[in-house]
Amino acid sequence: MFKVKFADIGEGLTEGKVAEVLVKLGQEIKEGDALFFVETDKVNSEIPAPVGGKIANILISQGQEIKVGDVVIEIDDGSSAAEVTPVAEIKTKNEPIEENASVVGSTPVSNDVIASRATTNAAAEISNSGVKATPLARKIAADKKIDLSTIKGTGPHGRILVSDLDSAPVAVPNTNSATKTVVKSVDVDAPLSWDSIPMNGIRKATVKAMVKSQSENAAFTGMKNINITPTYDMRAMLKDGCESKGIKLTYLAFIVKAAAKVLEEMPNINVRIDAENNAILQVHNINIGIAVDTEKGLMVPVIKGANHLTIFEIANKIGELAKKARDGKLAMTEMKDATFTVSNFGSVGLDYATPIINSPESAILGVGTMTKTPIFVKDEIKAGWIMPFSMTCDHRIIDGGDAGRFLMKIENYLSNPALLLM
């Protein structure tokens, strides 16, 4: 009998939340079959079985908090001796998780196929039994009379998610009864009401990190508009050639490369504070985090050794990490050890913002929306491209003058992008 224990799946995590139990009592499984989903502060991980056999006991349930060392499932593999297998020894696979129908974007639910609800008018109900879909998607489909067999699922193992229903045709019930339009009256003086939406792991981690950053750092933000017309022209020249090689060359790749080069020149920005020992730690590595906006919240995958990569390698890495972040498939190692962060809030339409430092880093570079505008060039007005930058620093160890010099060096590289290709 194997007793499977929950153990640390990365970065010193001591607990998790059972997002979904994927097996049933008495079920025959093979080694590697998924046992359950666990949600941590950083990722959602599918935990596979260490051995094959029959599920003898399930000691967890959906929504339950579990700690490292807890026995979660017992597997009868035919052995006589009781063995304990830590989950940490099993390779985990990250998958996106669908949300419960009762909340918005939080509680994961079972993947099991659930039969359609019985109604008094069976002819008007579409049978969606036998179709692999999440309970929330199934509930919405039942309410809207959507035939799930016509939908291609984009979730794990082809499972139909709520987002897959957006373009689905809605069936018209077959009924001879006259329909009436019912106008509901609204009581504008009704007392306040609300839906309680539990925070998912990513949101809880964001709350903790942002409060910690705001309470510990003496943050200030400096802003500068930079003429990136030369970078615009360089990207336009290289774009087609890059696409032919499968590389999506974005402006962010130029910015990350410029930041990495400036951090080499200004190691006093690539620092963190050791308050206990009244010391400043100057980090040798240049690992740049890129903030990615996802449906589940903000995630920050990390480009390791960005100063050693070419613009084209950085562009590939940005695309790869951003896709993993949005698909919920980032590994723990891909989200740790950042020394500096770049946040592209221009991608959501903002010109300026005051980004919050991602502790224990001491600075973050924010990038706003690029705008075509008249620019003076040698006393002549020409059309050019301006991009606003915002840099937030911890004033305890980075002074305003250093922040200004950093932005001026960024401007120098983006005004002379050929230097980034050297």
Asked whether the beta carbons of 128 and 147 are under 8 A apart, the reply is yes
Output phi, psi for 312, to 5 deg. Answer: -70, -35
For residues 39 and 19, give the distance between their C-alpha atoms in angstroms, rounded to a whole number: 6
For residues 159 and 157, give the distance between their C-alpha atoms in angstroms, rounded to a whole number: 6
Asked whether the beta carbons of 367 and 344 are under 8 A apart, the reply is yes
For residues 377 and 260, give the distance between their C-alpha atoms in angstroms, rounded to a whole number: 28
What's CA 51's distance to the chain center, in Å?
A: 31
Burial 45-70 (b: 16+ CB within 10 A, else e): bbbbbbbebebeebebebeeebebeb
Please name the residues in contact with 336: beta carbons below 8 A apart, sequence gap of 6 or more.
11, 302
- Active-site residues, by number, are 395
